[in-house]
Structure 1
Amino acid sequence: MKQRYFIYFSYDGTAYHGWQIQPNATSVQAEMQRAMSLLLRHPIELVGAGRTDTGVHARTMVAHFDDEQLIDTIQLAYKLNRVLPFDITVARIEPVDADMHARFSATKRTYHYYIHLDRDPFCRAYSYALHQAPDFHLMNEAAQLLLSHKDFGAFCKSHSDAKTTFCDVYEANWIKLSDTKWYFRISANRFLRNMVRAIVGTLLDVGWHKISISQFVEILHSKSRQQAGESVPGHALFLEDVQYKL
């Protein structure tokens, strides 16, 4: 009888074309499956909580896999961290009920997007450099409108295979770290492809007074990706947390 396991891990996405396996490109999923199959001595297929785009990072990512043998989860986590690339780290592995699913059982996902306004060599790889300070108060006013909205088609990547563009956003706000460093925190039950980066880009248009709050509302209701702002770069985006009712 197979036992299902959840594996919790983090990664620096700089060197990867996202989480999901794809032809002729390096992915986090491929590296993880290669290492696990090597250690467990048979093919392992991981199902992730979601997919991150090229260059996007994860402080907490979750995937599940099934195995017929009883696994010493502490030892497996230790061995994985010896054979995986240094930009992927396993935190823990836990047995879960057979009906638990890394993607479909997740109740909340949280992303952070980092920006900085100063010239900082230690930020450039993981934060988006802005050359003009936006109006954060105005951006937070616009961000609160996301909580009462349901259809996020305006922030969905064109030609996406998503069956629905409906999401429940629980939290969306800009948080100040210092006079020159901020991050955008957003939590929802699910996210569409490119959704966070498109929202941040559109909020920055609000913050730079390129569009008004009322125009932001019009974009929300338009359901058209062409109406929203440009997507910001992926290197400053982190999947911060994935939560379950275990």
Structure 2
Amino acid sequence: MRELFVQWLTEITAPYWHSSLTMDQFVTALQETFQMVFFALIFGGLWGFAQGILMLVTRPNGILQNRLIYHVMNPIINALRSLPFIILLIAVIPLTKLLVGTTIGTWAAIVPLTIYIGPYMGRLIETSLLEVNDGIIESAQAMGATPWQIIFQFILPEARSSLILNLTTATISLIGATAMAGVVGAGGVGDLAVSYGYQRFDTSVVILTVIVLLLIVQLVQMLGEWLSRLR
């Protein structure tokens, strides 16, 4: 399937594409970008959901109020969110080396991408959950629902549309971060833009990567908006 797609792409672009970059290299870079986004989104999403729910229930007047947990977690999340991704990418190199055995390549980039997107998603998820009307929580408590039931049967379903839109925003930010990870040889379309477009002064490659990233972002945004409207 991949070979057929590369062959088709090469045939339709042959009359217009005059660059040292081959379509096979481009498709490989595209696969690396999707791989980074997919795994970082899964790992970061799990971390983000845990953070968001924990911050919601332990905050002052929360259903499981715990000032110690809340006031420890809050500054940690803020600190991680405040770090520019390129600095975070460099700062976690020892951890990346420990976890995946290398600091270069697609798998190595997934570690800082997860650390980057986790707190960001956690804060967005917390914001979505805070939008749920207090009356719904009070009604659930009056019916004798346990804290877990309140979270998973009342709060999360009620916040569904907002959660999807915020997760869409996080995914788009993650796509931008994967492009930035290309600066340190993480692979993906960002790496093409640097190694072929910038270093070899090939403007056509830069334009191609920009167009591809714009299309991906647009598709993700449209998908997120469509899913948020479903009932």
Query: Structures share a fold, TM > 0.5?
Result: no
Larger Rg: 2
Please identify which structure carries the higher helix content. Answer: 2
Higher strand proportion, which one?
1
Q: Give the TM-score, by structure 2 length.
A: 0.26
